[in-house]
Amino acid sequence: MNLKIRPALASDLDALTWIGLAAIPFEPQWPYRYPFAAEFPEDHNKFTRIRYSEWLEAASTPECIIMVAESPSLQDKNITKVVGLSIWRIPRRGSNGESNNKCLNPCPSHPILTSSQEQKNRRLRKSIGRAQEEYFDQVYGTNQLSLAQLATHPDYFGRGTATMLLEWGVALAKKERWPITVFAGPMAYNLYKRFGFKTLVRVTTQVLDEEEKIEFPGMAWEPIDSVAKNERRCVSSAHQLLVVYDSHRASLSG
């Protein structure tokens, strides 16, 4: 497979939207967050496009990089198309000490969500933020390369696209001696493990009295020489973080 990777350009917006719309619903978090997406495709497409245009805007700053993978089209091998994407938050150099992980998370309001669904989504984001702070920021501070999104268009699954995008990130992290952090979807879990990521925490978010819950592991990769071997922070058994929300307050156990 003749794959190439490069930084995304503003002109990749259509391709990013095409990939995101097709690939991201494979992550359980997305049907949970946008249950009416299939019913209102136009609105959801518009939302997704705005989301990627905001990411592209973020990628014009030194704090974010979007790398895309190009492949010959399956329909016509003379045409090259963008089939995979990875979104990376870069640690601030010479920063004021504040983490950029929370502020740099574009998420326009969704046109078709009810206010209770919006509230549910806010809570999910809050529990991710909480896990981010407790298990990533408190350990690695501002000095982490954070993988915000990794996706391949389903027509191109299993052809090494995500592996190549991840190799790029790991090479950068090795060079800069940064750890990489990610909240992993189930489809990518083994891929991260293959690269040596360890699971630091398993986060479960649930609304009180609802059966539906969402689970995702927080994983980290550390450059071997970034810390003395006996100080390596990745633990062999992961913590459990259970965040259960009732209508007004959050309770935490784990």
Ligand X SMILES: CC(C)(COP(=O)(O)OP(=O)(O)OC[C@H]1O[C@@H](n2cnc3c(N)ncnc32)[C@H](O)[C@@H]1OP(=O)(O)O)[C@@H](O)C(=O)NCCC(=O)NCCS
Does residue number 158 form part of the binding site for ligand X (CB under 6 A)? Answer: yes
List 151, 203, 214, 243, residue binding ligand X (CB under 6 A):
151
Query: For ligand X, which residue of 5, 170, 172, 187 counts as binding (CB under 6 A)?
Result: 187
Compute the Cα dihedral for 122, 126, 132, 138 and give only its sign.
Answer: positive
Q: Which is nearer to ligand X, 157 or 168 (CB)?
A: 157
Q: Which residues pair with 67 in a beta bridge?
A: 7, 86
Spell out the alpha helix ranges (H) of 142-248: 161-176, 189-194
CB contact set of 249 (below 8 Å; sequence gap of 6+): none
163 binds ligand X (CB under 6 A): yes
Least Å from the CB of residue 16 to ligand X: 13
Report residue 10: phi and psi, to 5°: -55, -35
Judged by CB under 6 A, the residue of 61, 190, 240, 251 near ligand X is: 190
- Smallest distance from ligand X to CB 28, Å: 9
> Binding of ligand X at residue 191 (CB under 6 A)?
yes
Q: Judged by CB under 6 A, which of 20, 84, 169, 217 binds ligand X? A: 84
Q: Looking at residue 224, what DSSP letter applies?
A: T
Q: What minimum distance in Å lies between the beta carbon of 87 and ligand X?
A: 10
Do residues 167 and 155 touch, judged by C-beta distance below 8 A? no
| DSSP-based three-state secondary structure for 196 | coil
Tell me, by CB under 6 A, how many residues bind ligand X: 23
Find tokens 């592209």 and name the residue: 56
Name which position in 188, 201, 214, 220 contacts ligand X (CB under 6 A).
188
Q: How far is the CB of 101 from ligand X (least distance, A)?
A: 15
Closest to 62 in 3D by CA, of 112, 104, 22:
104
Cβ closest to ligand X, residue 71 vs residue 99: 71
131 neighbors 242 (Cβ within 8 angstroms): no
Residue type, 42: E
Which residues here bind ligand X, judged by CB under 6 A?
23-24, 26-27, 84, 150-152, 157-163, 182, 184-185, 187-188, 190-191, 194
